[in-house]
């Protein structure tokens, strides 16, 4: 069983084309491609998502992902939850699965802890409420000056950060980064893979920041 890992896709799955990712020619559905956040394939929550989701399902491998901050959390809630390899997942397609927050999976003799989510860094100018009587006026004003803003339940969701229940037993009333720091100090792990920062870099030999690069886990 082979495991490949990559970073944010934002609904753009061209990196999995056979001419870009030729390793898939020898892969099967037992093999995994893991996306570390900002999957973006469930964005509209309707038939407009189907073409890309179906295309991923047709790859010779199984695709698994954690959610980032640029996700439609309302649409993602509609998928049923099931057990898979010791943890909870949402099965989007037969070979396309969401690895849920705060879960531990046994995969290929290895244990994987997953915790999706992140704080948006493109909302400095605010979050607009679509039911605001002055929504259109405010939207035009912000757009005209190229402001960094989002619209609640349309391009931004509060669920981008985990809830108290999703943090699990180690939860404390701190931001997500503080939670990760506690995990780093209290848990023993071989590698830590993460996306979000749109760069490819390895820090201190075990923290792997991934974006468009696809690496094979050894």
- Residue 207: how many CA atoms within 13 Å on its side-chain side? 7
Q: Is pLDDT of 89 > 80?
A: yes
Query: Which residue did the predictor score with more confidence, 149 or 72?
Result: 72
Query: Which residue did the predictor score with more confidence, 88 or 116?
Result: 88
If pLDDT is split at 50, 70 and 90, which confidence band does 12 have?
very high
Q: What was the pLDDT predicted at 164?
A: 67
> What is the average pLDDT across 97-105?
95
Q: What was the pLDDT predicted at 104?
A: 94
- Quote the radius of gyration of the chain (alpha carbons, Å): 18
| Alpha-carbon gap, residue 200 to 210, rounded angstroms | 5
> What is the average pLDDT across 200-212?
88
Dihedral (Cα; 144, 146, 152, 155), 10-degree rounding: 120
| Alpha-carbon gap, residue 180 to 186, rounded angstroms | 10
Beta bridge partners of 150: 127
Query: Which residue did the predictor score with more confidence, 20 or 182?
Result: 20
Q: What was the pLDDT predicted at 5?
A: 97
| Alpha-carbon gap, residue 112 to 185, rounded angstroms | 17
pTM of the model: 0.73
If pLDDT is split at 50, 70 and 90, which confidence band does 170 have?
very low
Q: Is pLDDT of 79 > 80?
A: yes
> pLDDT tens across 28-65, in order?
999 999 999 899 999 999 999 999 999 999 999 999 99
> What is the average pLDDT across 55-76?
95
> What is the average pLDDT across 180-194?
81
| Alpha-carbon gap, residue 53 to 41, rounded angstroms | 7
196-200 own/partner pairs: CB under 8 Å, 24+ apart: 196/7, 196/8, 196/37, 196/38, 196/68, 196/69, 196/118, 198/7, 198/8, 200/7
Q: Is pLDDT of 107 > 80?
A: yes
> pLDDT tens across 120-150, in order?
777 788 888 999 998 998 899 888 888 888 8
If pLDDT is split at 50, 70 and 90, which confidence band does 168 have?
low
């Amino acid at each position: 069983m082979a495991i490949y890992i990559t970073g944010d896709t934002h609904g753009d799955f061209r990196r999995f084309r056979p001419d870009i990712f030729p390793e898939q020619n020898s892969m099967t559905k037992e093999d995994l491609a893991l996306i570390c956040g900002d999957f973006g394939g469930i964005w509209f929550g309707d038939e407009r998502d189907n073409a890309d989701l179906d295309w991923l399902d047709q790859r010779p491998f199984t695709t698994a992902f954690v959610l980032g901050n640029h996700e439609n959390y309302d649409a993602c809630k509609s998928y049923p939850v099931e057990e898979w390899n010791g943890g909870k997942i949402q099965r989007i397609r037969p070979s396309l699965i969401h690895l849920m927050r705060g879960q531990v999976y046994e995969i290929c003799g290895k244990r994987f802890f997953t915790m999706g989510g992140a704080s948006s860094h493109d909302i400095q100018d605010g979050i607009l409420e679509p039911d605001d009587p002055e929504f259109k006026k405010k939207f035009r004003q912000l757009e005209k000056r190229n402001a960094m803003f989002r619209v609640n339940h349309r391009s931004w969701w509060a669920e981008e950060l985990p809830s108290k229940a999703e943090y699990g037993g180690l939860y404390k009333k701190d931001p997500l980064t503080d939670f990760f720091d506690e995990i780093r100090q209290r848990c023993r792990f071989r590698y830590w893979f993460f996306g979000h920062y749109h760069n490819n870099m390895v820090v201190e030999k075990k923290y792997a920041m991934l974006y468009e690069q696809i690496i094979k886990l050894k």
